[in-house]
Amino acid sequence: MLSHKTLKFLAQSIGVGLLAALLLVVLSPLGSSLFKRLEAINTYNNGPFSYSKAVTRASPAVVNIYTKKQIRGTRRLSKTNPQLDRLLQNLYGQPYDRTITSLGSGVIVAPDGHILTNHHVIENAQEIEISTTDGRQFQAYVVGVDPDTDLAVLKINADNLLSISLGDSNALKTGDVVLAIGNPYGLGQTVSQGIISATGRNQLGINVFENYIQTDAAIHPGNSGGALINASGELIGINTITSLEGGNSIGIGFAIPSLLAQEMMSDMITHGRVLRGWMGVRVQNITPQLSQSFALGVSKGVIVSNVIRNSPAHMAGLTLGDVITHINEEPVFYERQILNQVIAYRPGDAITLKGLRRGQTIEWQIQIAQRPIYGTSY
């Protein structure tokens, strides 16, 4: 019969051996794979993953926006006969003002009460009312607007505001899970879930400057200006528009990236508007046919189709038909490129253009000015 000491020694040896074997399994690739499988099974058995923490973190910063605006119209004097109505309007019609109300969403981005939303949500509004998730209501005023990106910054005077955390919209990848929070159809705060369908969407004909996040998260009327958040509850976009056709979501929605919105907001708070470069020309792309017809001497670049009077380009001597090939040594191949390059400069910056005039090389020294609101030239 084994002694007590011998049994104790054997038990300790077996324990040490089992522990060593367990460590080898855990540290090996097979062990890692096994534990991941067990974790996946455990997650499956516990039900689907929840995004409630992300929503709880972000939703207090998403507000409802109600606006009122006055428009002038005339009363219909005949509701059944349009021709008679036009005749009676000419004889007796009196103009009258009526109030139109609309709704949208916004995001509190700073504890001091600054709110990001879409420009079209508050455009021409005489009154703007903000409703927070805790039931408080505030009158808001406009800090700045940027119609070219459809952004606006509002301000309310309030205490104990919960602002949203800013995420890195530059780090987004197709397939990332996102949540859209807003006030669709005036129902109150609503959350929809989807993924990033694409990033960097542009040339959609929606706004002058386009760099959209595309998502299949449902975005409906009233969601405009609301938050697009990641699975951690961080703001990665401002919802701006649903499908290109109609007002209902068809699985294609767009949002303005949060880092772009933050940059625009900083300018609007400091200057009341976004500072963008402008030199005052309209251009069109050079095609092989255009180059051959006018003997331009180049097959790529842009040709000046108009010069705005008294603009920086006009003062520098650009004229109709000039070809622009470089901006500060960077080649210019197409129209959209020159827009993006010029707006990146700040008013007061000096740039050098290179190009051709009647086949001869030429340079222009231009001092960049502030881009006009609703401007269509570059």
Q: Which positions are annotated as active-site residues? A: 120, 150, 224
**Single-letter residue type at 123:** E
First to last CA, the chain: 99
Reduced to 3 DSSP states, what percent helix, strand and coil does the chain have, rounded to the nearest 5? Answer: 30, 35, 40
DSSP-derived 3-state class of residue 243? coil
Give, in order, the Cα–Cα distances in Å from 233 to each of 33, 50, 63, 91, 241: 30, 12, 15, 60, 21
29: its two tokens: 């690739």
Nearest to 127 by CA among 142, 148, 115: 142
CB atoms within 10 A of CB 331: 11
DSSP codes of every residue in 41-65: HHHHHT-S---HHHHHHHGGGEEEE
Residue 235, number of CB atoms within 10 A of its CB: 27
Radius of gyration of the chain (CA): 30
